[in-house]
Amino acid sequence: MSVLDIDRIGQVAIWRITRPQALNALNADVLDALHAAVDAASRDHELRAVVLTGEGKAFVAGADIAAMKDMTPAQAEAFAAKGQDLGARFEKLGVPIIAAVNGFALGGGCELAMSCDIVLAGPKAKFGQPEVNLGVIPGFGGTQRLVRRVGLTRAMDLCMSGRFVNADEAVTMGLAARKVEGDVVEEALALARTIAEKGPVAVRYVKRAIHENADADLDTGLAAERSLFALCFATADQKEGMGAFLDKRAAAFTGN
C-alpha cells in the first residue's frame, strides 16, 4: 500500500502522505517515498511548485514511535540522518514546496513543515516539538530550524516544554506564514499556481538566495544576491518578463 500519493495539476504537484491510521507518522517507508518524490521532482523540468500535506486529520503527527522504540543508538543516528537529509533536499529542490498543515504537525511533522519554503496553517493546525515527553530530543532538524524561524527563546520554550501551538500562535511567532480559515490545501494550491505563473528561474534563485544565506552576514548575503540577480540577465525569462511588462501583456515564461 502506498504511503505517498502524488497528483499533478498542471505545473503543480501535490504530495499527500497517506498513513491516516497512524496520523501519517514518519517511518522509513514514508521517508523513502519522499526522497523518491524529490528525485522525480528534480528531473521534472515542467514542475513549478509542490504542495505537501497529509491525509485525514493530521499533516504528520510525528515520527513513528513504534518503529523507533527499540532502535540502537547507531540505528537512531541513521534514522535521524535520513530525516535531516530529506529536509536539506527539500531546501535545495529547485521549486518551492508549500506545506499545507491541515492538522497535527508535531515532532517530525513540525520538522518536515519547517523544511518547506512556505507553511500555511489550517484552522485545526497544531505545531510542536514534544520529543522531551518521550525522553528524546528532535532529530530531524527541529532544534536548528526552529530557532532560525522563531528565535532562541521561543525555540527553547517549545523544545523544552513540549507544548503545542495553534495556527494563530504559529503565525505570530513566525512558524507559519499565515492562517487559512477554509481548506488549507486549496489555499496552498492557489498559492502554488500563483508562483507557477512567475519566472521559474527567478523563483529558483529567490529560494537559493534565501536558503543559502539565511545565516550569513549581510555583506555575504548581499554579494550572493547580487550574483544571482546578474545571472537572471543571462536568461530568456528575463528578456520575456521585462519585454512583456513594457508591452503590457502577460509573460510567457519557459524556465530558460
Nearest-angstrom CA–CA distance, 181 and 200: 29
Interior/surface letters 162-176, b for 16+ CB within 10 angstroms, e for the rest: bebbebebbbebebb
Catalytic residue among 55, 111, 169, 225: 111
131 is catalytic: yes
For residue 128, give the nearest of 220, 62, 174, 223 by alpha carbon: 62
Catalytic residue among 55, 131, 187, 197: 131
What is the grid cell recorded at 41? 521532482
176, 167 Cβ separation under 8 angstroms: yes
Sequential DSSP letters for 129-180: --GGGGT----SSHHHHHHHHH-HHHHHHHHHH--EEEHHHHHHHTSSSEE-
91 is catalytic: no
192, 51 Cβ separation under 8 angstroms: yes
Active site members: 111, 131
